[in-house]
Amino acid sequence: MNIAFIAHDKKKEDIVQFVSAYNHLFEKHELYSTGTTGKRIMEATNLSIHRFQSGPLGGDQQIGALIATNKMDLVLFFKDPLTAQPHEPDISALIRLCDVYSIPLATNMATAEVLVRGLNRGDFQWREIVRGERRMIDNE
């Protein structure tokens, strides 16, 4: 699975702790992140993460491009709902793309916990079918 990590400044420590707790699970997947969030996660874990620009410099849009081309399977975006973000239109566009393309999205740690437990159970294998990685066998 292709998994993206994004976090606003006041939520970066939370996502680092969360990813660290599930390091053993995430190491089995292809990981992507906006710049600073990815750097902080990599410094705290042994995970290899493809880092894009920071969010305000276009990283949200780079991840959005993967969503729009059906190359992203899960997005964990720890948002700070109490601080105004100067790139709010980019954030809204990313969330909209997740809705348009039915990409599971967590915007807080509680929802991320539920999604990661589902990931561990194999509940997201339908994404492989959507991406065409598995061939569906009809009438067998």
What amino acid positions are annotated as catalytic residues? 60
Handedness of CA 57, 59, 61, 62 (dihedral sign): positive
Residues with Cβ < 8 Å from 133, sequence gap 6 or more?
none
* Alpha helices (H) along 85-125: 88-100, 109-121
Which of 131, 91, 110 shows the shortest CA–CA distance to 2? 131
Where does residue 85 rank: exposed (0-12), middle (13-18), buried (19+ CB within 10 A)?
middle
The distance in angstroms from the start CA to the end CA of the chain is: 27
